[in-house]
Amino acid sequence: MEGVDHLAFERNKAQFDVDEMKIVWAGSREDFELSDRISRLVASDPVFRKDDRAALGRKELFKNTLRKAAHAWKRVIELRLSGEFSALEPEAYKLRAFVDQPAFTDLHWGMFVPAIQGQGTDEQQQKWLPLAYRMQIIGCYAQTELGHGSNVQGLETTATFDPKTDEFVIHSPTLTSSKWWPGGLGKVSTHAVVYARLIIDGQDYGVHGFIVQLRSLDDHLPLPGITIGDIGMKFGNAAYNTMDNGVLTFDHVRIPRNQMLMRVSQVTREGKYVHSNVPRQLVYGTMVYVRQKIVADASVALSRAVCIATRYSAVRRQFGSHNGGLETQVIDYKTQQSRLFPLLASAYAFRFVGEWLLWLYTDVTERLKAKDFSTLPEAHACTAGLKSLTTTATADGIEECRKLCGGHGYLCSSGLPELFAVYVPACTYEGDNIVLLLQVARHLVKTVSQLSTGNKPVGTTAYMARLEQLLQYHSDVKKAEDWLKPNVVLEAFEARAARMCVACAQNLSKFSNPEEGFQELAADLVEAAVAHCQLIVVSNVYALSLLHKHLGDFISTGCIDPKQGSLANEQLRNLYSQVRPNAVALVDAYNYTDHYLGSILGRYDGNVYPKLYEEAWKDPLNDSIVPDGFKEYIQPLLKQQLRNARL
Ligand SMILES: CCCCCCCCC/C=C/C(=O)SCCNC(=O)CCNC(=O)[C@H](O)C(C)(C)COP(=O)(O)OP(=O)(O)OC[C@H]1O[C@@H](n2cnc3c(N)ncnc32)[C@H](O)[C@@H]1OP(=O)(O)O
Ligand SMILES: Cc1cc2nc3c(=O)[nH]c(=O)nc-3n(C[C@H](O)[C@H](O)[C@H](O)COP(=O)(O)OP(=O)(O)OC[C@H]3O[C@@H](n4cnc5c(N)ncnc54)[C@H](O)[C@@H]3O)c2cc1C
C-alpha cells in the first residue's frame, strides 16, 4: 500500500545510528547536506526524469541527455554550486549528481579541464581555464586511436613543428591513427586535448598534449581539415549511448605553437625541444587523476547495486512456510548472505580506500609542485592497481546483485541491467585492467629487486622491508575469533602478497632476458599484483571474504593451513549473522533517493509487487491488446494451421 514502509521491521533491527553512518558515507556533514540537497532537487525536477530512457531511440536519447546536461549546468549556477562558490566537489561530480548517466560534461570537467590544469603552463591555464569553467568552450580528451589505446607510446597522430609559421601541423597519417573513443568528441566538443607525436625537424620526441579547436564556435561545424563523428551504438540500450564517443581525423590542421601543453616540455620559437628534468610520465597525469576518481566511482556504483539487492532480498520471500505462515525472507538464506554481504562490505571498503587514494593523489600533486618526484611511482602503482581491482570487483558485483534478485533482477525496472551496462566499460577505459595490473607488477618486482641494494621500500610496499619475517610467517590462529584481530588478518595478507611477489621475482631471475621472462610469467605477475592491491584495501578495511575467496593462495604460499582456513570461514559465517540485522540500515546509510536508484526492487518503502505490476503496463508493447504485426504474420499462420488441422 502507498505510504507504508514495508521495510520498517528491518530498519527497527539496526544496532547503530543510521544518520551518523550517513555522514560517514558522505565524508562529512557538509558533503552529506550538499549531496542530500542536490539529490532531492533532482528527484523533484521533471527534467531529470529517467524512467523513459529504455524506450527512446539513439537520437532522442542523446538530445534528451544534452537537455539534461544544459539544465543541470543552469541549476549549478542558480544554486551557486559552481566552483566559484563551493569548492566542495569538482563540477564533474556535482553535474553527475544531476545527470547520473554518461554525458559530455564528464569529459569536459573530468579530463579536459584537469589536463590543462596538470599539463598547461600558467599562461595557458590563464587563457583556457576561464573559458572552460564558464563552458564557453567544451572540451574532450582525445588520446586513444583506432589502432592504439593501451600503448600510448604507439600513438600515430603527428604534431609537426613548422618554424616558418611558428605552428604545429596536426595530422592523421594512417587510418589507425584516427582518434577513436574520446567521450564528448562525436557531436558536442568544440575543443580537444589531442595526444600526438611531437616531430621537430624530422625527429620524433614522443607523445605530447595539444589543445586543438575542432568546431566553429559560431555554427558548430567542423573546422577545415577536421573530419569528426560518432563511433556508433555501444553495449546495452540506453547505457553509454547517451555519450557521443567519437572518431576524429586531421588533414594537416595548423595550431599556434603556444597550444602545445608545455608544463612538462617546451618547444622554443626556434624549434628547440626543452625537457625540464621532470619524468616524461607527467604527461600521463590526467589518467592518474581520473583513475583515483574511478575508485570512488566504484564504491558509488557498487553501493547502488547492493542497496537494490539488499532491500529486495529483505522483501522477497521464497519457501520455508510452516502451517500457512510467512515464507522465509531470502536474505535469511546463508547462500544469499555469502554472496551479498561481501559486496556490502566491498562498497564500504572501496569508499574508504577511495578517500585514502584521494589523500595519496593530493599529496603527490603537492610534491610535484615542489619538484619532489619520490612518490610518483607509488602514486602510479596505487591508482593503476586500485582502479583495476575496484572496477573488476564492482562490475562482477553488479552482475551478482542482478542474480541475487532472481528473475525480477533482469527487468529494466530493477535498475540493475542499466547500471551494469553503464558501469562495465570502467574495466577498460582509463586503462585496461590487466595492462594496469602489469604496471603494478613491474613496480613490485622492481621493489623486490632493489631490496638487496639496501633500498628501503616505502608506502604500500613498506611491508616488503620485513621480507625475511614474512617468508617465515605462519598464522598462529587457533580459534575462529582469532580472525577478528586486525593484525592477524593484516599479517596473513602481507605474507601472501610478499610470497607471491618473491616467487615471481625468483622465477624471473631464471630468464636471461628479463622482458621475455616478464611476458612468460605475466599471468602470475598479475595475480601477485592483485594480492598486493587487496592488501592495500585490507590495510584500510575488510578482509575475511577475500581470504575465503583466495584461500588457495594463502594455503599454497604456506601462510595459513587448511584448518585455519576453515576457522576463517566459520568466523565469516558469524560475521554474516552480525551483519544480518543491520543490512537494510547499512544500505539506507548511502542515502540514495528512489529517483537516483531508479529501481522498483530497491524502493525505500519496499512496496515492490504493486509497483512492478503497475510499471509493466507502461511498456509501449501494451499500448495495444493485439500487437502490431499479428495480423500480417501470425494470423495467416494460425489460419493455415487451422486449415491443416481440418484436412
Ligand atoms: C570526474 C571524473 C569523471 C570520470 C569519467 C570517466 C569516463 C571515462 C573516460 C575514459 C577516458 C580514457 O579512457 S582516456 C585514455 C586512457 N588510456 C589509458 O589509460 C592508456 C593506458 N596505458 C598507459 O597508461 C601507458 O601506455 C602504460 C601502460 C603505463 C605504459 O606507458 P609507457 O609505455 O610510456 O611506460 P612504460 O615503459 O610501461 O613505463 C616507463 C616508466 O614510466 C612509469 N609510468 C608509466 N605510467 C606512469 C604514470 N601514469 N605515472 C607515473 N609513472 C608512470 C612506469 O612505472 C615506468 O617506470 P620505471 O619502471 O621506473 O621506468
Ligand atoms: C566507454 C569508453 C570510453 C572511453 N573514453 C575515452 C576517452 O574519453 N578518451 C580516450 O582517449 N580514450 C577513451 N576510451 C578508450 C580507452 O581508454 C581504451 O579503450 C583503453 O585504454 C583500452 O585500450 P585498447 O582499447 O587499445 O585495448 P587493448 O590494449 O587493445 O586491449 C585488448 C586486449 O589486449 C590486452 N593487452 C593489451 N596490451 C597488453 C599487454 N602489454 N600485456 C597483456 N595484455 C595486453 C588487454 O588486456 C585486452 O585484453 C574509452 C573507452 C571506452 C570503452
Domains of the chain, each with CATH number or no CATH: 139-279 (2.40.110.10), 283-454+481-583 (1.20.140.10)
pLDDT reading at 513 higher than 50: yes
Q: Is the model's pLDDT at 88 over the cut of 60? A: no
For the question of an ipTM over 0.95, the answer is yes
Could you tell which of 185, 432, 438, 525 is best to mutate to test the pocket of ligand 2, judged by most ligand atoms within 8 Å of the CB? 432
Distance from Cα 181 to the centre of ligand 2, integer Å: 10
Angstrom distance (rounded) from CA 189 to CA 299: 29
pLDDT (tens digit, 9 = 90+) per residue, 453-480?
Answer: 888 898 999 999 999 999 999 999 999 9
- 369: pLDDT strictly greater than 90: no
Residue that wins the pLDDT comparison between 643 and 490 = 490
Q: How far apart are CA 311 and CA 416, in angstroms?
A: 13
Which of 111, 429, 521, 524 has most ligand 2 atoms within 8 Å of CB, for mutation? 429
Tell me the percentage of the chain whose pLDDT exceeds 90. 83
**What's the pLDDT score for residue 89?**
44
Instruction: Say what percent of the chain tops pLDDT 70.
Output: 97
Residue 249: the pLDDT is 98
Q: Alpha-carbon Rg of the chain, whole angstroms?
A: 27
Model confidence at 82, in pLDDT bands (50, 70, 90)?
low
Reply yes or no on whether 270 is catalytic: no
Mean pLDDT, rounded, for 56-72: 92
> Which range (165-169, 309-313, 373-377, 428-432) has the least confidence?
373-377
**pLDDT tens-digit map of 542-578:** 789 899 999 999 999 999 999 999 999 999 999 999 9
Which residue type does 110 have?
G
Rounded to the nearest integer, the mean pLDDT of the chain is: 93
C-alpha of residue 145 to centroid of ligand 2, in Å: 10
Global pTM reads 0.96
What is the rounded average pLDDT of the residues 361-386? 92
- The residue annotated as part of the active site, out of 378, 399, 430, 491, is 430
Pocket of ligand 2 (CB under 6 A): 107, 141-144, 149-150, 181-183, 240, 245, 425, 428-429, 431-432, 434-435, 438, 522
Q: Find out whether the beta carbon of 572 lies less than 6 Å from any atom of ligand 1.
A: no
- CA dist 195 → 152, 154, 158 (Å): 9, 11, 9
Q: Return the bridge partners of 139, or none.
A: 191
Confidence of residue 85 (pLDDT cuts 50, 70, 90): very low
Atom nearest to 144 CA in ligand 1: 15
Centre of ligand 1 from the C-alpha of residue 432, in Å: 10
pLDDT digits (tens, 9 = 90+) for 214-256: 999 999 999 999 999 999 999 988 889 999 999 999 999 999 9
For range 398-412, the mean pLDDT: 98
Whether the pLDDT of residue 382 is over 60: the answer is: yes
Residue 149: pLDDT above 90? yes
The position carrying cell 499500448 is: 623
Q: Which residues contact 641 (CB under 8 A, 6 or more apart)?
A: none
Region 183-203: what's the mean pLDDT? 98
DSSP 77-106: HHTT-STTT-TTS-HHHHHHHH--S--HHH
Beta bridge partners of 195: 209
Of ligand 1's listed atoms, the one at least distance from the Cα of 436 is 28
Instruction: State residue 1's pLDDT score.
Output: 63
Separation CA 224–CA 262 (nearest Å)? 25
Residue listed under C-alpha cell 562529512: 28
Given this model, what pLDDT does residue 97 score?
A: 74
DSSP codes, 549-604: HTHHHHHHTTSS-HHHHHHHHHHHHHHHHHHGGGHHHHHHTT---HHHHT-STT-T
User: CA-to-CA distance for 550 and 349, rounded, in angstroms?
Assistant: 17
Higher pLDDT, 392 or 135: 392
Mean pLDDT to the nearest integer, 376-392: 97
Signed CA dihedral, 270, 275, 277, 278: sign only: positive
Q: Which ligand is nearest to the CA of 391?
A: 1
Task: Give kind and range of the element (H or E) at residue 171.
Answer: strand 167-171
Which pLDDT tens digit goes with each residue over 308-348?
999 999 999 999 988 889 999 999 999 999 999 999 999 99
Query: At 639, is the pLDDT very low, low, confident or very high (cuts 50, 70, 90)?
Result: confident
Of the candidates 239, 301, 312, 325, the one whose C-alpha atom is nearest the C-alpha of residue 612 is 312
